[in-house]
Amino acid sequence: MLNQQAIDHALSQIATDLANSMPGELHFQRLVSAMGAVLPCDAVGVFRLQAQTLLPVASFGLAPELQGRRFELAEHPRLRAILASDVPLHFPADSPLPDPFDGLLARDAQRAQDVHACMGCSLHINGEAVGVLTLDALDAHAFDDLPDSTVAAFAALAAVSLHNLALIQALESACEHQRAIARDLVSEALQLRGHLLGQSTAMQHLRRDITLVAQTPLAVLITGETGTGKELVVRTLHAQSARADQALVQINCAALAESVVESELFGHRRGSFTGAHADRVGKFELAHGGTLFLDEIGELPLTLQAKLLRTLQQGEIQRVGADQIIHVDVRIIAATNRNLAREVEAGRFRADLFHRLNVFPLAVPPLREHREDIPELAGHFLDMARSKLGGERIDLSPDALAALMAYDWPGNVRELEHLLLRASLRVRQRSAKRGLVQAAELDLAEAASSSPALVVADANTLGLREAIEAYQRQLISNALLRAQGNWSQAARALQTDRANLQRLARRLGLSQIDA
């Protein structure tokens, strides 16, 4: 039975929250929690409309991985019907339309129960749809006595909240822009935020720092372990900058031989060296007016570091083999998984270049330091896996999610993505229908012991020289496997020079895995 006094108090509290300053995520969570406490439902969801997709803003009583999912209207007829209706919509228990939240109720530990009662209301501002509010319950008669007017009142407050959040984000992202384009900026900012996932304190701090520095011309040095998402941070920085409509040009300093790095950066004139059959534009010229991303900057040879420093100081480049000076206007973002301060102490990196790049450092946290984001990331990667593999939705069992939360993630977010793709493939092999990833299908024990074992060759069988070469081949192969094919990283692990390592690998017959 409905408690009208409790409902009125909840509505009053939500209205009061609207007048107070608080983070948008906290406000929406208070809203759905208040609704879940006073309405006869098992789950509440608020979703924001972006193009033809509904994105979760906050939920109550739904599985935590929901936050990482995207709901395409073309794939969800119930959500499409709710959005098209001007009044609250109550679906009959025997409706043939699939419910998008079947198997996603938090109280259902096995993620197997279907929703039996479903209501929804579209959210509108000034006559334009901005999202939907959904109510779900396992009891087929849960909403029989729930007035449409009550649902509409909560929906109106949710719509105003969405509108306020959009306005705040528009002011924070570009307060100097005209109101006429504020809406487009909000849409872009929200889309980017949806890709840089995570609501943990660490990720909130990272997004805050990105917003702080994005609109400035300052050089940014991004540090972090392999697989943490440094390239995603770069794209977010560029997209939020004043240069967003210009090029973002990338060069991987570790992937090029020393002999061609200068040409790649600065370009060359035809005939300036053997093989230079035509004039070539370098990355600095391509990035003029935009952003140049120097990935793996710690691998740049010392001889090129001096030339790069001169370019950053003077804003000028000179193509290899040319006398002409070319002025360039480029914003520099660099990234590395090395400790450049230590590289400076060791004499492998120029101190003046380090300080020129390290104007605004951004450290991307390893996944083990923001484990609370794993459910959202998992939901996102499971959606990606479904789009690649086809079939219906793939979900996580509570045991599988607990196993993910307990794992240490040496490969960070990239490892999580690949692990869930493999697990989804196993689920899809069983059936194209909605499936559930079990803990045993994650192969976390295998991942935890994925450092390849080293089998020492038998010198009595092979002879001393052959045994030593076999041992060297296995060392190099294992180091490359751990470094995901990065020769510079493998060379550091083996405490040798990259060029020497590659020469040795070719001599040992490993040229087929050369970079």
Cα–Cα distance for residue pair 118/95, rounded to 1 Å: 10
- 460-489 mean pLDDT: 69
Most confident of 110-124, 270-284, 359-373, 425-439: 359-373
- 304-330 mean pLDDT: 86
Q: Same domain, yes or no, for 308 and 412? A: no
Q: Is the pLDDT of residue 480 over 80?
A: no
Q: Is the pLDDT of residue 177 over 60?
A: no
- The per-residue pLDDT for 115 is 84
How does residue 176 score in pLDDT terms, banded at 50, 70 and 90? very low
Query: Per-residue pLDDT tens for 149-160?
Result: 999 999 998 988
Q: Which domain holds residue 49?
A: 4-174
- The per-residue pLDDT for 170 is 56
Q: Same domain, yes or no, for 399 and 276? A: no
What 434-437 contacts at long range (C-beta under 8 Å, 24+ apart), as own/partner pairs, is 434/102, 434/103, 434/392, 434/393, 434/394, 434/395, 435/391, 435/392, 435/394, 435/395, 436/103, 436/110, 436/111, 436/112, 436/394, 436/395, 436/396, 436/397, 437/382, 437/394, 437/395, 437/396, 437/397, 437/400
Q: Same domain, yes or no, for 89 and 140? A: yes
Percent of the chain with pLDDT over 70: 85
- The per-residue pLDDT for 81 is 96
Residue 137 forms part of a structural domain: yes
How does residue 182 score in pLDDT terms, banded at 50, 70 and 90? very low
User: Residue 61 belongs to a domain with what CATH number?
Assistant: 3.30.450.40
- The per-residue pLDDT for 22 is 61
Q: Same domain, yes or no, for 356 and 399? A: no
Residue 183 forms part of a structural domain: no
Among 318, 334, 363, where does a domain finish? 363
Mean pLDDT over each residue of the chain, to the nearest integer: 83
Q: Same domain, yes or no, for 164 and 43? A: yes
Q: Same domain, yes or no, for 22 and 118? A: yes
Q: Same domain, yes or no, for 320 and 288? A: yes
- 224-253 mean pLDDT: 91
Q: Same domain, yes or no, for 475 and 428? A: no
Q: Same domain, yes or no, for 168 and 222? A: no
Question: Which of 140, 155, 60 shows the shortest CA–CA distance to 99?
Answer: 140
User: Residue 330 belongs to a domain with what CATH number?
Assistant: 3.40.50.300
Q: How many domains does the chain have?
A: 4
Residue 85 forms part of a structural domain: yes
Question: Which of 433, 444, 443, 440 shows the shortest CA–CA distance to 394?
Answer: 433
Among 363, 396, 423, where does a domain finish? 363
Residue 453 forms part of a structural domain: no
Percent of the chain with pLDDT over 90: 42
How does residue 71 score in pLDDT terms, banded at 50, 70 and 90? very high
Cα–Cα distance for residue pair 399/404, rounded to 1 Å: 9
- The per-residue pLDDT for 155 is 92
Residue 136 forms part of a structural domain: yes
Residue 414 forms part of a structural domain: yes
Among 335, 363, 391, where does a domain finish? 363
Residue position matching structure tokens 């709901």: 71
Q: Same domain, yes or no, for 264 and 321? A: yes
Residue 190 forms part of a structural domain: no
How does residue 143 score in pLDDT terms, banded at 50, 70 and 90? very high
Q: Same domain, yes or no, for 354 and 389? A: no
Q: Same domain, yes or no, for 266 and 415? A: no
